[in-house]
Amino acid sequence: MSYSIVLHAGAADSWAGESQLQEKTEFFLHHLINGAEDKLRNGESALQVVTEVVSALEDYPQFNAGKGSALNNDGFHELEAAVIDGRTCRYRAAGGLQRTKNPIKLAHKMLDFPAPALIIGNAADELAETNGLDMVDNSYFTTDSRRVYWEAKMNKLLENHGTVGAVALDIYGNLAAANSTGGVTFKHRGRIGDTAIVGAGIYADDEVAVVCSGSGDAILQATVAGRAAAATRSGTKLNDAVEKAILKSAELYPDSSCGVIAIDASGSISIHCNSRIFAVASASSSQPEWAGIARSTIPILSQLAIFENEKIIAGMVKYPTFPNQIVVCSQPREPILSLEAEPFVDFFIRLRRVIRKVQSFYQAPDIAFITCGKTSSAFVFPLSISTQYMDIDLKDDDYTTTYRPLSDGHRADFHYVDDRLIKVRIHRPDKAGLFSTELQQYSQTILQIWTILQVLSREVGPDASRPHLEVHPQRKGHVTIFLGMPHPSSFPKPATFCDSLPGYLTPELGPKVADMASLGRLAGKMAEYLTSSSI
């Protein structure tokens, strides 16, 4: 029999901690999802498994639920949780908890009684205590990092995300969902977010189970979980339903971020977020287990789109590393660097048209460009001033280089370090900026790039799994294919925002833009400009 499970530990725009903390967190998520999968495989119910998973997440102090929860504006904790048995659609939730050690256990215990479906405040703690659940002092939920953050950022909220949750399908075909949170840092005393509200941050029935994380007030008002579930029940594919629900929430509340995990009755899994990062883990009878910090899966928000046709979509970047940064994506979403020759050239010809219009809009003398690994996305960086011409090889004594002639006046230099290929530099026959080149010459260069990508796929194999194609205006005479990151990664922390063009471009996301409303207005003006003439 088939089974599936997904858990999350919060969608967020920032990350606190060093690489050791990331490794420790990912190890914990791996261990937790492995245990949950074993329980489902051995016949435990989806309802029991999601409750146990969320309880374990509540006990892990790194996450904003249970121990480690956010502090409200009065400096204490108020927790909330909910659970839904998809088989019966029975929903139970509790909020405003101050002493119940594991809020999700109270929500689960409430399924034993015909009512209430939702209980809040002191009465909720009293119900937990009456039913023999573990009770603690409110200070138990406080961690040093939460207290330090609260004291340092008093009335200066920078991060308003954080929930834990799980959805599962058991071998009997039953679905279940569970969610828990400490809420928003500096939240008003008594505030209830989306986490405990059916149809907002959580939903489950006999066809689909959904839980959300992120900007709780936006998710609550946009009814994200219910919206995604309704679309799925109406025949929309699960992944599309989840993405559309997130996009609608972001359209209604532009400054918000959201992550969603979902499973349908067939066992299909969806993990989507428009936040910068999303801590998740998943496993199923048909897919291997995975756990880690996921990156944003929705590169372009509806209100930030500037151009779209059947093959390409472009928009402003929510998490930029450079002023006026643009993201472009192939349509349908296929990894750009894995396209066959004809659609590869066609995409880049369309890209050239968009870039030239963007360049005209900004009166930008030059353009930088980098693809985002083996994804459907790439970044465009319009430059406000001309860059110094630096068409040099940037030689390193540790490099060894081999040369291969290509057609139409091109040449490829393969650079190795300790016999490992790290990059390929494709020299072009002219020194103009690539996107300013005459169309025939441009198309020839794009075809040579595709040819080298095929060589890498055949000769390097797995080492070429995440290539990045860079067009850097300081090196106009060539384009570069990096095998791996062009520079050390800062992930899961945001990449540095640079006011001037760095020596190497980054395909990573930076800090969230400060004014989403202004960015949306700029996107609207650019969209009008781009559609005012043919592209």
The residues annotated with a catalytic role in the active site are 163
Torsion of the alpha carbons at 475, 476, 477 and 482, rounded to the nearest 10: 50
Contact 167, 263 (CB under 8 A): yes
**ω into residue 343 within 30 of 0, thus cis?**
no
Contact 123, 94 (CB under 8 A): no
**ω into residue 254 within 30 of 0, thus cis?**
no
Residues 254-277 as b/e (b if ≥16 CB within 10 A, e otherwise) read bebbbbbbbbbbebbbbbbbbbbb
In 71-228 the beta strands, taken as DSSP E runs, fall at 79-85, 90-97, 118-120, 164-169, 175-181, 202-204, 208-214
271, HSE (Cβ side, Cα atoms, 13 Å): 25
58, HSE (Cβ side, Cα atoms, 13 Å): 28
d(Cα 113, Cα 68) in Å, to the nearest integer? 30
Sign, Cα dihedral of 334, 335, 336, 337? negative
Longest dimension (CA), the chain: 82
Helices (H), 42-66: 46-59
d(Cα 143, Cα 217) in Å, to the nearest integer? 25
d(Cα 83, Cα 76) in Å, to the nearest integer? 24
Residue 422 CA, distance from chain mean position = 27
Going by the DSSP 8-state scheme, the letter that residue 239 receives in this structure is H
Three-state secondary structure call for residue 162? coil
CA distance from start to end of the chain: 51
Residue in 370, 390, 388 with CA at minimum distance from that of residue 380: 370
Radius of gyration of the chain (CA): 25
For residue 161, which phi and psi values (nearest 5 degrees)?
Answer: -120, 165
**ω into residue 511 within 30 of 0, thus cis?**
no
Contact 289, 34 (CB under 8 A): yes
Three-state secondary structure call for residue 152? helix
d(Cα 513, Cα 317) in Å, to the nearest integer? 8
